[in-house]
Amino acid sequence: MAARILVVEDDADVASVVRAYLEREGYAVEVAHDGLAGLRAAQERTPALIVLDWMLPHLDGPSFLARLRRDAATPVIMLTARIEESDRVLGLELGADDYVAKPFSPRELVARVKAVLRRTSPPEGGAQETIEHAGLHIDPARRTVRVQGRPVALTALEFDLLHVLARTPGRVFSRTELLDAVWGEDFMGVDRVVDVHVSNLRHKLAAAGADGRLATVRGVGYKLEEEPS
């Protein structure tokens, strides 16, 4: 069955182009032209991925994302004409998985969609083994995380970051290594994206009772502590 992608974009011409390119790649595409309609569509039938414009009538992109993340980890790629890094970081802090700056190449957007869907698809060749470290349980096949038996809701990227770090606890990963492992070597964003997602992940783990498990090694990168600090 074709992966279903929800495009939330108020510019009819842009939405039409995005739909055409995605459908050409075999995806099933639904379009919503305002934020509230898009949020209803996402909540009624969860898509595999959402392409979300920043500036939308009735409910803008950041507000859409904040409300979506209350109960859904659906991957989101934001489209934004804003050039300030602070604006893009805000989208990432709210839970966007990636962003594409306007004006954009439809081919670039399709490549980003494919990359995100590859990350969030079940692993091929059989289920990967679960990982357990001092009360932290990670199930790659189900893409679930538990701390002392309690579920932790993570976005697709947060899960992938944690999974990479947890496979070799104690090892320090540089930002470049994490970008390559999680976003892919062809990622064209900035390494600040790693810091934002690690920060979000750290807060969620702390709230679930795993405070101190993600450590920052100044000037180098990040690691997962083998035991609670």
Q: How does pLDDT run across 5-17, given as a tens digit for each residue? A: 999 999 999 999 9
Q: For residue range 41-58, list pLDDT tens digits in order.
A: 999 999 999 999 999 999
182, 160 contact by CB (below 8 A):
yes
pLDDT at 122: 59
Q: For residue range 131-157, list pLDDT tens digits in order.
A: 988 889 999 888 899 999 999 988 888
pLDDT at 61: 93
pTM above 0.85, yes or no: no
Average pLDDT, the chain: 87
pLDDT at 94: 82
Q: Which amino acid is at 11?
A: D
Residue spans of alpha helices (H) in 45-105: 61-68, 85-93
Asked if residue 127 has pLDDT above 60, the reply is: no
* Residue 189 DSSP class: S
